[in-house]
Amino acid sequence: FEVKMQSAQGNGYVSSFFTYHDHWGESNSNNWNLLTNEIDIEMTGNQNSSIQFTTHHPGEPNPWSYGEIINVGFNPHSDFHIYAFEWTPSNIKWFVDGVEVYSQNQDIVDDLIHPQKIMMNLWSAIWEDWVGIWNSSTMPVTSYYDFVKYYEYTPGDGNYGSNNNFTLSWIDYFDMFDNQRWEEATHGFYGNNCQFNPLNVMFHNGKMILIVSDINYILGDVNSDLAIDVVDIIAIIDILLYSNYIINTADYNQDNSIDIVDIVQIISLIL
């Protein structure tokens, strides 16, 4: 599982790329503690030179987790880097820019037996000793995803990864929102100051952009002055021509992309 991304900076924020066993629809979901399977890459916005790699495991009465925060020698919030992990029956290995930086052996990961889906999110955590003290005035913040690649485990018959044991299955370069592959979340969870909302997922200049913001904005009111006017149109034009700084309310028609259609519809609204 491989991603090229740039995480969000600031106390309280967590940017991620991970896999997760979505057990909530299963008939035995009441035993969720025995179904927990998750593999994480997480960047916390209060740490400027480290990344956390974690696995989450089933347990009775509670699930358990194992991982480490690894110094990577650069600020993951200031530029794009490639992160990956390999999941095999015998171990999990994590990589940064093609270099293995951390691993967990079979005695740790042998209970990761359930299928897992690929997920990405940006959120604000309540655990201040982990992420620092969140200040809502720091919104909006963004994390950027340039691509995601998924490789099948094909031992002895691959051309990538450790011992060439993996074969590329698909790539998403995020030129658009692929609703056959991805789903936009509309929920929250314990420990999260945020509520996930499709309004805060954008695609622009070949990047998927996740945004933490106050969503009590008016669509089309790009400058947040509670009025939709020519100033907002100019702001959208500036985003289109020059800027990677994305404002979610610029996507007036909510198609996950800021483009000329948004401008036309706002002009029609004004007229």
Catalytically annotated residues? 38, 42
206-to-46, 174, 175, 185, 202 alpha-carbon distances in Å: 27, 5, 5, 21, 10
40-to-178, 182, 202, 213 alpha-carbon distances in Å: 23, 18, 23, 24
Cis bond leading into 140, ω under 30°?
yes
240-to-59, 94, 100, 128, 247 alpha-carbon distances in Å: 49, 36, 38, 37, 11
Q: With residue 230 as reference, give the H or E element that holds it.
A: helix 230-241
Nearest Cα neighbor of 74 from 9, 128, 13 is: 9
CA terminus-to-terminus distance, the chain = 48
Residue type, 163: N
Sequence-ordered alpha helix ranges (H) in 48-92 = none
Beta strands 141-153; 166-172: pairing state: antiparallel
Q: With residue 238 as reference, give the H or E element that holds it.
A: helix 230-241
Cα separation, 237 vs 260, whole angstroms: 8
Which position has the token pair 């483009």? 259
